[in-house]
């Protein structure tokens, strides 16, 4: 029998020793979200003065780092991200980080094709008796990064849950191990107010018992999930497993019995949420954390009959174009898997693509529904790829509707203070 423990011990080094193997001109990529290696990234800036021309590809960072957020390190590290959280936004506004557009299912492979790939850093669960670690909380892009990396460095964290799926990593494929004992990152549920609650209740009327759902991140998806508590036998094929999905599992709402692809399994590419969520995931044979190129392949998702994609928007124009990632020209989040899941849903038998958003922003002073998207806004989702838009004022059907019908439907779910102006703007722009 192979002595995996001996091989493991031979690869354990300090964080400084592990990072010392990074050379000038290298491209480094970090694991995603819950697999983020906080200790390695937290010490990366110490390479300044020793190396130069380092590209760092990150996504959905959950902590602030010197190499990313401190302008003193700008000349050493070229930081790139394909999904913004608050720490990324701070770096972006300061000119310390640039955004890379792309869909979740293939964005990383496209980045590698241009930049190459030298170093992978990521957190994993402790090794099992067979020599395998688990990349428990994300497989968004970990697999393709590992396949291209020349150097693999992992943080082994005993607090990481054991989650199943296509997420194993053998000790023989690892170059260096850094042992840590840090808390697993959590993400609080969004604050659900009356508007979010109303949106959730409207969305709930569009979802039937036995449907397979995909939910996004934030207060609106959490409100939507909370509104599903009276549903039966829902399935899950989603980009992200959130705390509200764990609530639905605990309540017996999610069973997966009616799924046509991977029945009785909860399929996702990453998970992020509460400690209670991680308890649900831990050693649960119903969970499948799969590669993002699989879960978010629209044609894979479409194999689920009754697939319902439910995503957030920031702004919608009167023809149905959706901006979900920028505030004007300022990048706020990212494309993520929104287009992947929406296209999968509309090609599913009896599938539905839903965009949900509050009707206003800035204390009801700005309508999120407008005749034209604000200058510089990114069109995240084509008007051709959605069936419904939902606000706290109701549901606007889009499927099969003409531009004139869309204008009327969307104006009807806008805040009452803006409806007349929307109609007038539509006439002026000849939106019919």
Residue ranges per domain, the chain? 4-179, 194-428
Helical spans, DSSP H, in 56-141: 66-69, 86-93, 107-115
Chain center to CA of 205: 25
Cα(277)–Cα(382) distance, integer angstroms? 33
Cα(228)–Cα(215) distance, integer angstroms? 12
**Pairing, β 212-215 against β 307-312:** parallel
405 catalytic per annotation? no
Chain center to CA of 169: 22
Provide the terminal-to-terminal Cα distance of the chain, rounded to the nearest Å.
72
- Res 2 pLDDT > 90: no
DSSP H or E run through 19: helix 15-19
- Res 216 pLDDT > 90: no
Q: What is the pLDDT of residue 217?
A: 86
Q: What is the pLDDT of residue 394?
A: 99
Cα(242)–Cα(304) distance, integer angstroms? 20
CB 310 within 8 A of CB 216: yes
Same fold, 4-179 and 194-428: yes
Residues 6 or more apart whose CB falls under 8 angstroms from that of 405 comprise none
- Res 1 pLDDT > 60: no
- Res 308 pLDDT > 80: yes
Mean pLDDT of 168-188: 96
Q: What is the pLDDT of residue 331?
A: 96
Mean pLDDT of 106-128: 96
Mean pLDDT of 331-354: 98
Q: What is the pLDDT of residue 9?
A: 98
Which CATH architecture describes the domain 4-179?
A: 3-Layer(aba) Sandwich (3.40)
- Res 44 pLDDT > 80: yes
Using a 10 angstrom Cβ sphere, with 0-12 exposed, 13-18 middle and 19 or more buried, the burial of residue 283 is: exposed
Catalytically annotated residue among 239, 276, 392, 405: 239
Q: What is the pLDDT of residue 190?
A: 84
Q: Assess if CATH 3.40.1080.20 describes domain 194-428.
A: yes
């Amino acid at each position: 029998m192979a002595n995996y423990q001996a091989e493991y011990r031979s690869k354990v080094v300090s964080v400084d020793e592990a990072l010392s193997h990074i050379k000038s001109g290298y491209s480094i990529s970090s694991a995603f979200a819950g697999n983020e290696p906080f200790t390695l990234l937290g010490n990366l800036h110490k390479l300044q003065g020793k190396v130069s021309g380092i590209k760092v590809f990150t996504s959905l960072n959950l902590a602030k780092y010197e190499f990313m957020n401190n302008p003193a390190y700008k000349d050493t590290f070229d930081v790139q991200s394909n999904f913004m959280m608050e720490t990324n936004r701070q770096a972006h506004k300061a000119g310390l980080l640039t955004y890379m557009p792309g869909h979740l299912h293939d964005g990383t492979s496209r980045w590698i094709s241009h930049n190459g790939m030298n170093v992978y850093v990521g957190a994993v669960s402790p090794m099992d008796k067979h020599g395998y670690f688990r990349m428990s909380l994300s497989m968004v892009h970990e697999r393709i990064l590992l396949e291209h990396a020349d150097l693999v460095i992992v943080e082994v964290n005993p607090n990481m849950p054991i989650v199943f799926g296509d997420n194993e990593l053998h000790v023989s494929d690892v170059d260096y191990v850094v042992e840590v004992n840090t808390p697993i990152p959590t993400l609080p549920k969004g604050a659900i107010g009356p508007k979010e609650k109303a949106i959730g209740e409207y969305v709930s009327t569009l979802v039937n018992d036995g449907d397979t759902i995909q939910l996004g991140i934030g207060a609106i998806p959490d409100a939507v999930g909370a509104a599903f508590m009276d549903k039966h036998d829902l399935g899950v094929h989603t980009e992200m497993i959130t705390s509200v999905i764990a609530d639905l599992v605990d309540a017996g709402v999610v069973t997966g019995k009616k799924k046509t692809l991977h029945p009785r399994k909860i399929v996702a590419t990453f998970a992020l949420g509460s400690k209670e969520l991680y308890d649900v995931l831990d050693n649960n044979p119903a969970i499948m954390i799969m590669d993002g190129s699989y879960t978010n392949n629209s044609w894979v998702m479409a194999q689920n009959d009754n697939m319902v994609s439910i995503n957030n928007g920031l702004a919608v124009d009167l023809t149905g174009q959706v901006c979900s990632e920028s505030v004007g020209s300022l990048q706020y989040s990212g494309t993520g898997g929104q287009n992947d899941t929406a296209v999968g849903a509309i090609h599913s038998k009896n599938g539905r693509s839903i965009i949900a958003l509050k009707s206003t922003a800035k204390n009801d002073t700005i309508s999120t529904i407008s005749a034209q998207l604000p200058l510089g806004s990114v069109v995240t989702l084509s008007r051709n790829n959605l069936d419904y838009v939902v606000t706290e004022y109701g549901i606007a059907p889009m499927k099969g509707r003409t531009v004139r019908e869309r204008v009327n439907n969307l104006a009807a779910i806008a805040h009452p203070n803006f409806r007349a102006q929307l109609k007038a703007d539509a006439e002026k722009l000849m939106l019919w």
